[in-house]
Amino acid sequence: MDKLLVSDLLLRCIIGINEEERLNKQDVIIQITLYTDTTKAGQSDDIKDTVNYRTITKEVIAMVENSSYNLLETMLAKIVEICFSHEGVEGCLIRAEKPGALRFARTVGVEIERWKNK
């Protein structure tokens, strides 16, 4: 299966369970891998024959920046819903990290992989 990659998408949102995390937006870094078949697009050179990662990214940005979740797991589940709403996406690997969330750690994060037909 081919992959389309969106790397290091830096967004800000309300995320976390602690009181101070609920007051101000925090940075989150999101990685999106979309599993699809790019054979037809590779032959036709036409955007209509592939997954438009720009459209998906815009939807993810709008959702995340206007969100208020306690858990990264919930936010990632919503990103999966966005990805799967687009024709041609057969699976996705989504990762989100919160820089500086733990003392002595550069970042903490969650990664999930989902497939439409599994």
Residues annotated catalytic, as ranges:
98
Q: Which CATH architecture has domain 2-107?
A: 2-Layer Sandwich (3.30)
pLDDT reported for residue 112: 98
Question: Using an 8 Å Cβ cutoff, are 105 and 37 in contact?
Answer: no
pTM of structure: 0.94
pLDDT in tens, 89-111: 999 999 999 998 888 999 999 99
Model pLDDT for residues 43-91, shown as the tens digit of each residue: 999 999 999 999 999 999 999 999 999 999 999 999 999 999 999 999 9
**pLDDT tops 90 at residue 118:** no
- The reported pLDDT for the residue numbered 41 is 96
